[in-house]
Amino acid sequence: MIEQQIRPWNVIDEDVLNVMKQIPREFFVPEEYKDLAFADTEIPIAEGQSMMSPKIEARMLQALAIKPGDRVLEIGTGSGYITACLDWLSDEVTSIEIFDSLSSQAQEHLAAFGIRDAKLVIDDAFSYEFLTLFDVIAVTGSLPVPTDMFEKLLATGGRLFQVVGQGASASAQLVTRVADEIFHREELFETALPPLINAPEPKRFSF
């Protein structure tokens, strides 16, 4: 997976490569899909959700440039695999998941792997009241239309990874909060992810 998928996709950060070597991805994959754990594909999990392909996960982690001491927020806990990677790279992770069943299963996965300090929240990210700012925000589902909701949760110098758009027009973005009301937005690559539950949708025209 590392040599055939991740390095060819311009992932060269040794910390990212190391964390993806150290954390067993197959441990977080549903039993019926264990044979796809290292395949270049999304993997279905419960509640109609899915895990991102390994190369997208790696590019996201590299773009976020996570370091010890960073306060990290993950939108969409899913299987808990990315949560584990974020925790490994930083010191403080909060992960919010709308589905109770996914969050509970992720908690079990993380605890079995020895990760007990990640804070898992069961709620809707679009209505939850966040009481702090974050240095890193990883959004694991797409946003069909642009929103500044998550970038407003960044501390100065903070980095946000998100996928914005629909279908072939969707692209991964890195947003950096340069100053209080100044944001730098960089288009990283084109990709498509399933939309976050309750994400804002394009307005529909009626005639």
pLDDT at 160: 98
pLDDT tens, residue by residue, 110-160:
999 899 999 999 999 999 999 999 999 999 999 999 999 999 999 999 999
Is pLDDT above 90 for 52? yes
pLDDT at 204: 66
- Residue 87 inside a domain? The answer is yes
- Residue 153 inside a domain? The answer is yes
Question: How many degrees, rounded to 5, is the angle at CA 125 between CA 123 and CA 127?
Answer: 85
- Residue 61 inside a domain? The answer is yes
Cα distances (Å, whole numbers) of residue 170 to 61, 135, 192:
19, 24, 6
Is pLDDT above 90 for 168? no
- Residue 26 inside a domain? The answer is yes
Helix residue ranges per DSSP H, 90-148: 100-112
Query: Which pTM does this prediction carry?
Result: 0.94
- Residue 198 inside a domain? The answer is no
Structural domains in the chain (count) = 1
pLDDT (mean) for 54-81: 97
Percent of the chain exceeding pLDDT 90 equals 83
- Residue 200 inside a domain? The answer is no
- Residue 206 inside a domain? The answer is no
Task: Say which CATH number the domain at 159 has.
Answer: 3.40.50.150
3-class SS of residue 93: strand
- Cβ neighbours of residue 153 under 8 Å, at least 6 residues apart? 73, 130, 133, 134, 137
Pairing of strands 71-75, 134-143: parallel
- Residue 93 inside a domain? The answer is yes
How is residue 134 written in tokens?
A: 């974050």
Is pLDDT above 60 for 205? no
Range of the domain at 69: 2-190
